[in-house]
Amino acid sequence: MSSTPSNDSPRGARGRTAGRIAVRIVVALLLVLAAGVAALAWRGYRDDPSTGPLQASADPAQRVAYGAYLAKVGDCMACHTVPGGQPYAGGAAIPTAFGTFYGPNITPDPSTGIGAWTADDFWRALHQGKAPSGALLYPAFPYTEYTRISRADADALYAYLRTVAPVARPSRPHDLDFPYGWRPLLALWRGLYFQPGVHADAGADSELARGRYLVDGLGHCIACHAPRNGLGATPGGSGLAGGTIEGLGWYAPALDGDPRNGLGRWSQDDIVALLKTGTSAYGAAAGPMGEVVAGSTQYLTDADARAIAVYLKSLPAGPAPAAATVREAGGMRRGAAVYEQHCVQCHAADGQGKGRDWPALAGNISVTAPYPGNVIHMVLEGGFAPATAGNPRPHGMPPFGQVLGDDDVAAVVSYVRNSWGNAAGGVTSLQVKQARAIGG
């Protein structure tokens, strides 16, 4: 006799009931998922009502001059001007984990730039991350920070950009991996990570408030000096704890109060010196930060540089990084020998350097960073501190990439990261090889 239940048996009825329940559960889950996606999309596309009124000015020339200053503070040329190219005509490459973005043309050309934009359009782009058409902008344009800019400062920036020479050049399309080129996905990202809103007054009397406004808003320091998650966002609460700069192989150190990896041992004067001259008692700006100093922070007024220092010194230390693993003693001996042969004349046997021309390696936050890319790149490629008004003829470091093999570079970098009180962990020859590939 067959043991298979018939459709009319109790077991068959129970099976049909269970199947219907399973289908209902799946449908309910799909509806919940669809509702969640719709809610995120709504949050991503929503308009923010706090669009401030156009700020009239009794002196248009003064507004333009202040806008030019703000453009330097925000380092707008870094993304909107190719080296040696026409100012603000776009084309600068911005490599990321999702592909390469290209800064658009923001000259006042009416066809290929922003000449047809109104002041309200410009404010909407900064404050809400939306083009005049309503299209969502990619957060490679840091509207996630620019949303904190006041309407008065946005209008000053707009007034200045209206005065630059127009350039008729279409913006280069972004080169993004699939599926990131599908712009509607931005609505979901924005629903998770973006909320527009001005948080501080640009003209606040308090140094602390002014510093926060510059660091968190126009200066968009968090764009480099914070870790990013797998979706390229800097989740709330991460602070300025330092982060790897995608596509470049450099590390932006922590700007919080951590005494080993942040600014805990720096004074306000040290911070001001680095911002204004590119050098300080604790090291020199190099790599991407060198470009920021050259194109942006050296032009800060003394008051704004001091306000930034006051704010950064108010930040507490973040969580301590995981303990580093030092290379074996043999590797340290090899690194010491390479250091003695190539480095000691400038950086001294005790790693203290010689003034600001040859910076100290002991206690240098670029040396002790969790990621060793900065030191590796400097050893391989050398470089100069930025030329600034306060340091017009900076001393440079010669490249050793053609002299030293990967093993020797790994050994000497491990040595400087773990000597004179430094305890930052070892470096492998594979990391050096990867840095060579990135540096070209």
DSSP state of 297: G
Strand boundaries in 330-405, DSSP class E: 383-384, 396-397
> Is 80 annotated in some ligand binding site?
yes
Buried b (16+ CB within 10 A) or exposed e, 172-183: bebebeeebeee
Asked whether the beta carbons of 67 and 149 are under 8 A apart, the reply is no
Burial class (CB in 10 A: 0-12, 13-18, 19+), 321: middle
For residue 32, give the amino acid letter: V
Nearest to 217, CA basis, from 299, 150, 293, 146? 146
Q: What are the backbone angles phi and psi of residue 176, rounded to the nearest 5°?
A: -110, 150
Cα(326)–Cα(371) distance, integer angstroms: 14
Q: Tell me if 199 is assigned to a ligand binding site.
A: no
Does 342 count as an annotated binding residue?
no
* Residue 232, phi-psi category: left (phi > 0), alpha (psi -120 to 50), beta (remainder): left
Burial 221-253, CB ≥16 within 10 A → b, else e: bbbbbbebeeebbbeeebbbbbbbbeebbbbbb
Alpha carbons 366 and 23: distance in angstroms, whole number? 57
221 among the known binding-site residues?
yes
Q: Is 343 among the annotated ligand-binding positions?
A: yes
Residue 377 annotated as part of some ligand binding site = no
Residue 127 annotated as binding? no
Binding-site members are 76, 79-80, 221, 224-225, 343, 346-347
Binding-site members for heme c are 76, 79-80, 221, 224-225, 343, 346-347
